Structure formats: structure tokens, C-alpha cells
Amino acid sequence: MKETKSRGSFSGNIGFVLAAAGSAVGLGNIWRFPYLAAKDGGGLFLLCYLILVLTFGFTLLTTEIAIGRKTRQSPLTAYGVIHPKAKGIGILACLVPVIILPYYCTIGGWVLKYFAIFMTGGGGSAAEDGFFSGYISSGIAPVVFGIVYLGLTAAVVIAGVNKGIERFSKVLMPILFFLIIGISIFCLTLDYTDASGTTRTGLEGLKIYVIPDFSDITFNKIFTVFIDALGQLFYSISVAMGIMVAYGSYVKKDVNLMNSINQIEIFDTLVAFFAGLMIIPAVFVFMGRDGMSAGAGLMFISLPKVFYAMGPVGNVIGFAFFLMVTFAALTSSVSIMEAIVSSMMDKFHLSRRKSAVIVTIYALIMGIIVCMGYNKLYFEFKLPNGTKAQILDVMDYLSNNCLMPLVAVLTCILIGWGVKPKTIIDEVTEGGFKFRRKTLYIIMVKFIAPVMLVLLLLQSLGIIKL
């Protein structure tokens, strides 16, 4: 299948790996991974997550990248090329980033706001009670920062695959990696004595994070941790949202897919691990175990208080942290937008610029609506999984809890039982390259992954109660 020049391609393996890793390393790693790890007992969650990355994650990542490279098509059209009756999977896969992009840019705008605060030395105000809720419920500011963030994302996508996405990733990813390692090491050196005279250290927080606690283990707890880790994988490796199909379509035929996938797995897992290493010990030192149960507010509510408690150096660390989070968020939002833009280019034969402008206008309108969901359009809606939600939460639930598991299970059925695993294996081994985990792949895509995904979907829909 010929690749049209207008689509572009990555220059080689390094460009592809850094772009794919950049997509994977986003707010899911920096924000969601640490609070799930804290909630689920640290080491136990890490153990489950690592096992799932090497099995389940590897299977979906390999499948989607291979589909993209084999078809040279975006997610909207690639599945129909694989099998004429699979066009519906492509529509669902493309719908995921369409839903995610507006609210992801809204959250990206929040990150930009905090970065601006710490850059100007005002970290103390971000640590005040009620600051975060007051900010997101205000009228204009969240919209302005969201628009700026969306503009940065669109600029990279309009520049193209090689000059935009690849060049952007090659610069940002090494910086991001060194920032996250540096902040992690610093957090391990922290110690703090509270009003009761109790001294807590970063190394004690490290033990909580990495050492599994089996003291009160039950089947229900293991199942909860397993489902949490499985759900986190979608955020962490950017599967079931069309991104890896789109990026795979830009990979040249002489690239060793297995080596690339292994490198993406390693890079993503290291960043996720260091994100927890950066956040959990610091929160434990200054706020104890209670602070670690802050949930999704860990990054925007708990961490500013931690940085403030560090004294003058806290503003510097806060600046470096939110700079790093900004980089991580941008590399992911670029990939989310690219999945939609590439789909429009392939389906409707539009230019990259025109497709990107249309997507940007859509994301702008929907992003404003998401921001207004915290003030003029505020409402509370009870989701099937029992949580209360408003506009952003509903969009997140539809995309991440419903559509992504559905796309993943349908993809496994298509490859495992429709066109057969040989379709993917032939693409991976093209050029004489070895597929070292071929047997594992076949077992996972045909049997284990579909069952796991159905369990996740049933839990998300509230049919299975944890």
C-alpha cells in the first residue's frame, strides 16, 4: 500500500519512539498514576502494573502500531482496510480522541496556570485552601489558559509529522526525563517534623511506594488493584484511542517494530514510576498518609501545599515540576489531536492545515463548554459506577471507561478471531525481524486480553461492583 507524501513519516526509529513515548507520557502518568499507586498500597499496585505492561499493554501496543504501519491509514480508515466489516471499530477509535481533546486541553490549561504562578514566584497563593476550586469555577481565566494551551498543541500538529511532532518530541522528551529524575532524587532527600514531633523522611515514603503490603490482602483488594492498574494502562500507553494506529502509519517499513515497542514500554514505565517517586514521598513527608489519599486533587491541591512547606526552595521545585507536567501534557495532546487530524486527512482528503484548523475550532468551542461546566453550566450527574460528575467527568467517563475498553476488546476479537494474529505477526516480522514474544502475543490477543477487557468494561458500567 502506497503512502501518500502529504501524510509524512517519522525519519527513523528514534523519532518514532520519542513521539510515541511522548504520547504515552502524559497527564495519565504524572497525575493519575501516583494517586492510584497511593490508593492501592504502592508496591502492590506497581507489581500489578508491571505485569500488565509486559503482557496486556504489550499486546495492544503491538496490535495498534502494526495495524497503522500495515494499512498506512489513520484509525478512522485503518480498521476498514484490515477487514471491510471492521469499519465501525475505526469510527469508535476515532471518537475517543474527539471526546478527549477538549477536556484534555482544559486540564492542560490548568497546568499552564500553575506553571505561570510558580514561574512568577507566587506558589504560596496556589497552596491556599480553596484556590484550585476557586480558579476552575471562575469565568475567564480557565478559558484563556485553555485557549493558549490549545494553540500550542495545534501549532505542533500543523507543522507536520517530521518538522512538528518528531522535532517537538526530540527536544521535549529528554528535557522531561531529566527533570522528572532530578525532582525525584530531590524528593527522596526530604525530611519534616510535624507539630506532634513526628519526623517523616522521603526514604520512608519510598518504602511505602515500592514495597508491596500483603498484610491485609483479600481477593477483593487484589481485584480492585488489578482493575485500577488495567484502567491506568489505557492512560499510560495511549492505546484504544487511535493514537498508536496513527503514529504507526508514519513508521517506515525498515524500522524494527519489536525494538521500538520495547523501548516505548521501558520509557513509559520509567516515567510512570518516577512520577510516583516524585510525588508520593514528598506528599508523605509533609502531609503523612492522609495526604496520600487526596485522590485526583493530588497534583493541584496537595502538591502546592507540599511545595509551600518546603520553604523558598519549594517555589523553584514547583516551577520545575509544572514545567515538566506542561511538557508531558503537550506531547500527549499533540498525539490526541493528530489522531483526529490524520483521520480527517485520510477520510475526507483534506490538507493537514485545513484539517487541523477545523479540529482546533471544534476543540475551542467544546473546551469553553467544559470550562463553563464548573460555573454557569454546572450540574451533578451520577454515573453508573457511582461517582458524581459534571461535563468534564461525563466526557472522561464516556471516553476512558466505556469507549476505550470497548475499542480494545473489539480490536482483540478482530485480530484474534477475525483476520487472525498472523496479520500482525507478518507485519512485525517483515524485513526478517524477530517477534520474540510471539507465543505470548497470540495467547493474550485471543484469550486473556478480551476477558480482562470485558471485566474492566463491566466494572466501568457498574455491573461488577468492587
Kindly report, residue by residue over 430-446, the tens digit of the pLDDT: 989 999 999 999 999 99
pLDDT (0 to 100) of residue 34? 85
Give 464 or 126, the one with higher predicted confidence: 126
27-37 confidence digits (pLDDT tens): 878 878 887 88
Q: Which residues pair with 413 in a beta bridge?
A: none
Contact 139, 317 (CB under 8 A): no
Q: 201 exposed, middle or buried (CB, 10 Å; 0-12, 13-18, 19+)?
A: middle
Q: How far is CA 67 from CA 191, 258, 445, in A?
A: 49, 14, 14
pLDDT (0 to 100) of residue 252? 93
Task: Compute the average pLDDT of residues 361-385.
Answer: 94
- Tally of CB atoms within 10 A around 386: 9
pLDDT (0 to 100) of residue 208? 87
Residue 193: strand, helix, or coil: strand
pLDDT (0 to 100) of residue 4? 42
Question: pTM higher than 0.85, yes or no?
Answer: yes
What percent of the chain is predicted at pLDDT more than 70?
97
Task: Compute the average pLDDT of residues 53-80.
Answer: 96
Q: How far is CA 104 from CA 140, 142, 331, 452, in A?
A: 18, 13, 12, 27
Q: Quick one: residue 240, left, alpha or beta (phi over 0 = left, psi -120 to 50 = alpha)?
A: left
pLDDT (0 to 100) of residue 181? 92
* Alpha helices for 349-390 (secondary structure H): 352-372
Report residue 85 CA to chain centroid gap. 29
Which helix (H) or strand (E) element contains residue 270?
helix 257-291
Please tell me the distance from the alpha carbon of residue 84 to that of residue 78, in angstroms, as a whole number. 10
146-173 confidence digits (pLDDT tens): 999 999 999 999 999 988 999 999 999 8
Task: Compute the average pLDDT of residues 72-97.
Answer: 97
Q: What is the DSSP letter of 414?
A: I
Task: Compute the average pLDDT of residues 63-77.
Answer: 97
> Is the model's pLDDT at 201 over the cut of 90?
yes
> Is the model's pLDDT at 392 over the cut of 70?
yes
Start-to-end CA span in the chain (Å): 47
Q: How far is CA 11 from CA 18, 243, 445, in A?
A: 12, 18, 30
pLDDT (0 to 100) of residue 465? 75
Please tell me the distance from the alpha carbon of residue 8 to that of residue 381, in angstroms, as a whole number. 43
> Is the model's pLDDT at 6 over the cut of 80?
no
Contact 44, 350 (CB under 8 A): no
> Is the model's pLDDT at 294 over the cut of 70?
no
Range scoring the smallest mean pLDDT among 20-24, 199-203, 296-300, 435-439: 296-300
What percent of the chain is predicted at pLDDT more than 90?
71
Contact 337, 154 (CB under 8 A): yes
CA-nearest of 423, 408, 411, 415 to 455 is: 408
Torsion of CA 75, 80, 82, 88, to 10 degrees: 80
> Is the model's pLDDT at 345 over the cut of 50?
yes
> Is the model's pLDDT at 2 over the cut of 70?
no
Burial 77-97 (b: 16+ CB within 10 A, else e): bbbbbbeeebeebbebbbbbb
pLDDT (0 to 100) of residue 466? 61
Task: Compute the average pLDDT of residues 6-31.
Answer: 85
Strands 388-389 and 381-382: antiparallel
**Mean pLDDT over the full length of the chain:** 91
Give 388 or 412, the one with higher predicted confidence: 412
Confidence of residue 316 (pLDDT cuts 50, 70, 90): very high
Q: How far is CA 263 from CA 58, 152, 358, 389, in A?
A: 11, 27, 34, 37
Range scoring the smallest mean pLDDT among 28-37, 236-245, 285-294: 285-294
Give the CA angle between residues 199, 200, 202 to the nearest 5°.
145
> Is the model's pLDDT at 14 over the cut of 50?
yes
Give the CA angle between residues 449, 455, 458 to the nearest 5°.
140
Contact 29, 268 (CB under 8 A): yes
Range scoring the smallest mean pLDDT among 114-123, 231-240, 320-329, 346-355: 231-240
